[in-house]
Amino acid sequence: MNRVTDILGIKYPIIQAPMSWVTSAELVAAVSNAGGMGTLGPNAGQNTVANGPEESAERLRTEIKKTRELTDKPFGVNYFPPGIGSGENPYGEAQLKVLIEEKARTLVVVGVANEKDIKRLKELGFTIVFRELHPTVSGAKAAERAGADIIVATGFDEGGSTPNIPVGTMTVVPMIVDAVNIPVMATGGISDKRGVNAAFALGAEGVYLGTRFIASVESPAHDNAKQDIIKHGTEDLVLLRTGHGGYWRATPHSVALEAQGLNDNQVHSNFAKIGNLKTAMLDGQLEEGINTYPVY
């Protein structure tokens, strides 16, 4: 037991990251039943894009209820805070209403360290696991001041959308640990016990794992995507600029390689054409989308 397990009410200090399109009630419940904390990510359990904020929120409600049918253990729900309360984020407001009504306890909040947003969520009674997209000491301190319970320190080693500063997990974790008094979890390139041990040696009190769960039986990811991740190694990594200063880290397929020739704004504006994550990871159309994985 440590501070992470005490705060979250779980056996092992492991959180399954809320990956877009490739989480579901089945995966989340399996992780929670095994003693970690599963997390419902964006579009969890879905295979089509929601038609507006209300439908998106009701889909989330359904998945929360389904998860509760599969586990009586704690689980989390992903939430993106920018704009809440300002009328600028109708999806977030609709989802927040459902989270309150369904009495969700733990939110994995991903984004910018906006103290007003975090304070509001704390006042509503949520336990907050905060992951700054581009981790900084100032952001970690701001989240702590606002009442966040746990900070996730993300290294450039991660899969998916990387931080905009190419600083690895081994550097980011102790930097954030030294900056705050609340517990810190490590993420980025951790795939086995050795990585977990290293994270704890650096001062982390838990690990936050994404890609490691994608190839599991319970994951809704397409088998093509699972086998693609298993097949490729670090030497095959492709970095695509996101338009937000960071990168998408991907497996080497034709669309991804072509996208390398685009500038930041072109890649960002062409995401719908490229296919983003759903096309490759959920639908299995690897040559038309982006399949992501970290440095292992």
pLDDT tens-place string over residues 77-133: 999 875 544 446 788 889 999 999 999 999 999 988 889 999 999 999 999 999 998
pTM, entire model: 0.90
Tokens, residue 274: 């490229």
Unique residue bearing structure tokens 């992951």: 131
CB 250 within 8 A of CB 291: yes
Paired tokens of 167? 């600083």
pLDDT digits (tens, 9 = 90+) for 197-252: 999 999 999 999 998 999 999 999 999 999 988 888 777 777 776 656 667 777 77
Which amino acid belongs to residue 104? Answer: A
**Cβ atoms within 10 A of the Cβ of 134, count?**
17
**What is the b/e burial string over 95-112, where b = at least 16 CB atoms within 10 angstroms of the residue's CB?**
bbebbeeeebebbbbbbe
* pLDDT at 251 (0 to 100): 77
- For the chain, which domains are there? 3-213 (3.20.20.70), 223-288 (no CATH)
Eight-class DSSP state of 213 = G
253-287 pLDDT per residue, tens: 756 655 666 655 555 555 555 557 888 889 888 88
Beta strands 238-241 and 247-250 are: antiparallel
> pLDDT higher for 29 or 162?
29
What pLDDT was estimated at residue 85?
Answer: 43
Q: Could you identify the residue written with the tokens 């295979």?
A: 47
Q: Write down the pLDDT at residue 86.
A: 47
DSSP string, 125-186: T-EEEEEESS--HHHHHHHHHHT-SEEEEE-TT-SEE--SS---HHHHHHHHHHH-SS-EEE
Q: How far apart are CA 54 and CA 290, in angstroms?
A: 28
Place of tokens 């704890």: 200
